[in-house]
Structure formats: structure tokens, C-alpha cells
């Protein structure tokens, strides 16, 4: 009667959502202030005032039909020009408006890229730990997701394992840096190595292999870490950007895809992106929000809270005896669980009202994710709980 796969996707709750709902229920029993909910990646930094001001300015100066009307499918040409100029200024690139396709956030952008690129039997490679939605996005367009196991000492790329998984069917590689869930930022050296390996493989197989650079956390990189602009290292790169995290606008659904002139056959790729957006009904990203982000182009993100929270949680967990890579960006910590079974560990953590997400969900068993985009005070109060949990394991 219905597409079984769609029914399953629509009714089976994600682990993150299940944990979050458990938290809501538990908060009703014991009080919000006694729950340490590290489950969701929903930014807690308020949307900057300049965004509000841009909305007010636009609404009060432009005609309603101009603000709320349809734009052309890839988005308002002036908006795209302005955003391209802002990217060029920041990263020394050379884009024009024609290189941008406005989307409803990064999720739409990535899905469009998968759909635009996927031919029969194509494979898409992701590096564990990875954003779990990649799997259903890739599978929904008929592709196969191939996962490179995690390099858990620093969450960069295990190039030996990666190389073995590249085949003649590999169409693209998805990179996400700063990373959800590891908090790692890929170094320039990692990006260079990635580019050089993919160039060699393109030659070997005689066709392009793309990088899809999923960048919703680009602006959230801490001191000492810079996020290389991948198109400058590798020609066949499509960038998927979003304002969900950088301007705390996840509910407004706005972002873009960059298709550089240098990709193998720009006209074909941009055309396929437009076609994929059309069938996925992701054309004409929200008009008001296109104008707003263009108004705010180049304005800084407020990352102080994430920096402070990351440091506090990292140091607290280290003091409690957890193994963990220092936060470099995004707003997640990905420590080693205190037992092999990360699901059992997260279940046990619930006894202390610590709500954590098992690493298995991100393709990296034995670890757990703690999203620290929450009140600093909640993190402070949670640290004795982590200590008690660790003490229980020590016996
Ligand atoms: C790695 C990653 N990619 C994509 C997305 C989707 O972001 P958006 O809200 O822009 O669709 C998220 C959201 O959490 C994410 O963590």
C-alpha cells in the first residue's frame, strides 16, 4: 500500500530522538534542572541581533512580493553574487553568483549532490564517525554508502583503510570538518593527502571522483585550528554550506551548494544539481532567508559559548578518567565509552541522568557523543555525575 522503506524511515525513531524524548519525560518527573541532556545538536547560542535587524530592515523596506515571491530555481541572483563575493573575500576563491545554488540548509544541499551525481551502482564513501543521515540520503538516490573505519587517535583520515575502499564505482567522498560527532577539524595536511590520493584514483579509473564537503560547522573552529577551503586543494569539490549552526538558524532552512567552475564539466554538474533540486522540490530556497543571509554576509559567528563549553566538558571528562580528543571545532565531544558496548554504557549513564548518544549510531562503536551546545551551568553540574559514573566502572 505504501513504500515500505519510506514507512520505516518515517516511523522508526532515531536513537538521538529517542534519547531526547526520554529526557523530556524524565525532566517532567525530576525537574529540567536535574537532567543533563547532551543528545541534540540544536544550537543554544541565540541568533545574532544583526540577523533580527536584517529581517526588520528587509520587511520594512522591500515590497512584500519582492520579499516573499518565487525566486528563480537556484536562488536570487543578487543574493548569490553577494555570497560568492563574501566567500572570495574570506577564502581567496574566485566564485561568481553562477557557482552558487541556494538550498534549504545543508541536508538539502547534500541530498541534492548525491542525487545529481549518483548513477547505477555508484558508491559514496564516508569516514567514521559520520552524520547518520548520510546513509538514508545516499540510499534514497540508489547509491551505496561505504564507510571507512575511524582513526580514533585523532579522528583524521586512515588513508590506508580509505585507499582499499576506493573502487571503480566510487563517485564521491563526503567530508565533514569541523566534524559531527568527533569535533575534529581536518588539517591542511589531511586535505592535501586526500586530494592527492583522489587525483591518483581519478587517473587510475579514468573518471572524476568528487569531494562533497559538508560544512555546517565551518565557522565553529577553535583557536589554533583553521578549516581549509577544500575547492582550493581539489578541483572536483562541491561545497554544502548552511546557516543552521553559524547563525543559529536551524529552523529557517537556508544554505547553499558551491559548484566551482573548475569541476569536471561545470555545465553538466550545475545542470544535474538543478535537476536534482527540481525533483526533490528543493528549488527556490526560502526567499526571505536568502535576503537575510545576503544582508549578513561576512558577519562573524559567536563561538565563545561553544569554546568555553568544549573546554569545560573536555577538562571535566579528562579529570574523571575519560579518554577523549581535545575539541577543535563544532560543538561535540566524542569520548571513549567506559565499556566496549557503547549502547550499554549510554544506558548506564541514564542512571545519573546523563543523556549521551552511542557512537554506534555514527559508525564508531565503543565511543559516545556529548553535544555541548547547552547551558554552561548544566555542564558544570553534570561533571560530578560523570565522576560518579566513572567510579561505578572502576568498582
Ligand atoms: C554533519 C551535518 N551535516 C548536515 C546537517 C544538516 O544541517 P542543516 O540544518 O543545515 O540541514 C547537520 C545537522 O546537524 C550535520 O550535523
38-49 confidence digits (pLDDT tens): 999 999 999 999
Separation CA 112–CA 285 (nearest Å): 13
- Is 183 inside a domain boundary? yes
The predicted pLDDT at position 130 comes to 98
Residues 259 and 184 in one domain: yes
The answer to whether residues 78 and 96 belong to one domain is yes
* Span 2-14, average pLDDT: 91
Mean pLDDT calculated for residue range 266-274: 98
Phi, psi of 338 (to 5 degrees): -90, 5
Over the stretch 54-86, which tens digit does the pLDDT of each residue have? 999 999 999 999 999 999 999 999 999 999 999
Domain range enclosing 185: 70-295
pLDDT category of residue 20 using cuts at 50, 70 and 90: confident
* Domain assignment of residue 58, yes or no: no
User: Average pLDDT of 209-228?
Assistant: 97
Specify the higher pLDDT residue, 20 or 361. 361
Decide if pLDDT at 365 tops 90.
yes
CA distance 128 to 181: 9
> What per-residue confidence (pLDDT) applies to 14?
86
In a domain, 230, yes or no: yes
Q: In CATH, what number is assigned to the domain containing residue 340?
A: 3.90.1150.10
- Asked if 18 contacts 347 with a C-beta cutoff of 8 angstroms, the reply is no
Domain-terminating residue out of 248, 272, 295: 295
Q: What share of the chain has pLDDT > 70, as a percent?
A: 100
CA neighbor of 364 nearest in space, from 213, 155, 140: 155
Per-residue confidence at 246, pLDDT binned at 50, 70, 90?
A: very high
Most ligand 1 atoms within 8 A of CB, residue of 14, 113, 180 to mutate: 180
Q: How many angstroms does the Cα of residue 217 sit away from the middle of ligand 1?
A: 8
Percentage of the residues of the chain whose pLDDT score is greater than 90? 97
Pocket residue to mutate for ligand 1, from 107, 249, 251, 257, most atoms within 8 A of Cβ: 107
Residue 388 lies in a domain: yes
- Over residues 356-381, mean pLDDT: 98
Please list the helix, strand and coil fractions of the chain in percent, rounded to the nearest 5, in that order: 45, 15, 40
pLDDT of residue 259: 98
The SS3 call for residue 245 is coil
Tell me how many domains the chain contains: 2
Average pLDDT of every residue of the chain: 97
Contacts for 382 with CB less than 8 Å, ≥ 6 apart: 36, 38, 316, 354
Tracing cell 545542470 back to the chain, one arrives at 271
Cα-to-centroid distance, 335 and ligand 1 (Å): 21
> Is pLDDT at 13 greater than 90 in this prediction?
no
Position 395 scores a pLDDT of 85
pLDDT digits (tens, 9 = 90+) for 124-164: 999 999 999 999 999 999 999 999 999 999 999 999 999 99
Q: Looking at the structure, tell me whether residues 30 and 153 fall in a common domain.
A: no
Residue 17 has pLDDT above 90, yes or no: no
- Ligand 1 atom with the smallest distance to the CA of 131 is 1
389 and 242, same structural domain? no
CB under 6 Å to ligand 1: residues?
A: 41, 105-107, 131, 176, 180, 214, 216, 242, 244, 250, 255
My answer on whether 288 and 306 are in the same domain is no
Amino acid at each position: 500500500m505504501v513504500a515500505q522503506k519510506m514507512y520505516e524511515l518515517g516511523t522508526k525513531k532515531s536513537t538521538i530522538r529517542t534519547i531526547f524524548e526520554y529526557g523530556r519525560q524524565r525532566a517532567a518527573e525530576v525537574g529540567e534542572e536535574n537532567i543533563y541532556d547532551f543528545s541534540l545538536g540544536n544550537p543554544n547560542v541565540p541568533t545574532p541581533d544583526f540577523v533580527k535587524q536584517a529581517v526588520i530592515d528587509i520587511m520594512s523596506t522591500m515590497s512584500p512580493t519582492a520579499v516573499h515571491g518565487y525566486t528563480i530555481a537556484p536562488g536570487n541572483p543578487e543574493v548569490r553574487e553577494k555570497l560568492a563575493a563574501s566567500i572570495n573575500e574570506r577564502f581567496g576563491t574566485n566564485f561568481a553568483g553562477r557557482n552558487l545554488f541556494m538550498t534549504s540548509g545543508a541536508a538539502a544541499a547534500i541530498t541534492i549532490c548525491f542525487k545529481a551525481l549518483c548513477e547505477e551502482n555508484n558508491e559514496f564513501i564516508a569516514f567514521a564517525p559520520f552524520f547518520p543521515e548520510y546513509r538514508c540520503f545516499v540510499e534514497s538516490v540508489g547509491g551505496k554508502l561505504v564507510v571507512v573505519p575511524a582513526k580514533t587517535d585523532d579522528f583524521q583520515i586512515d588513508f590506508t583503510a580509505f585507499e582499499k575502499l576506493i573502487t571503480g564505482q566510487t563517485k564521491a567522498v563526503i567530508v565533514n570538518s569541523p566534524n559531527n560527532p568527533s569535533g575534529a577539524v581536518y588539517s591542511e595536511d589531511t586535505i592535501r593527502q586526500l586530494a592527492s590520493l583522489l587525483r591518483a584514483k581519478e587517473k587510475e579509473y579514468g573518471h572524476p571522483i568528487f569531494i562533497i564537503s559538508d560544512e555546517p560547522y565551518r565557522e565553529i573552529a577553535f583557536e589554533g585550528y583553521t578549516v581549509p577551503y577544500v575547492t582550493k586543494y581539489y578541483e572536483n569539490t562541491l561545497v554544502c554550506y548552511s546557516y543552521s549552526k553559524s547563525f543559529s538558524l536551524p529552523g529557517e532552512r537556508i544554505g547553499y551548494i558551491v559548484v566551482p567552475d573548475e569541476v569536471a564539466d561545470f555545465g553538466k554538474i550545475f545542470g544535474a544539481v538543478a535537476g536534482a533540486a527540481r525533483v526533490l522540490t528543493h528549488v527556490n530556497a526560502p526567499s526571505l532567508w536568502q535576503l537575510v543571509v545576503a544582508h549578513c554576509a561576512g558577519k562573524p559567528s559567536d563561538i565563545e559559548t561553544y569554546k568555553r563549553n568544549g573546554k569545560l566538558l573536555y577538562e571535566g571528562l579528562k579529570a574523571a578518567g575519560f579518554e577523549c580528543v581535545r575539541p577543535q571545532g563544532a560543538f561535540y565531544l566524542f569520548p571513549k565509552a567506559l565499556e566496549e558496548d557503547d549502547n550499554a554504557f549510554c544506558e548506564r549513564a541514564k542512571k545519573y541522568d546523563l543523556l549521551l548518544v552511542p557512537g554506534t549510531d555514527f559508525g564508531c562503536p565503543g565511543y559516545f557523543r556529548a553535544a555541548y551546545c547547552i547551558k554552561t551551568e548544566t555542564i558544570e553540574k553534570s561533571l560530578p555525575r560523570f565522576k560518579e559514573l566513572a567510579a561505578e566502572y572502576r568498582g
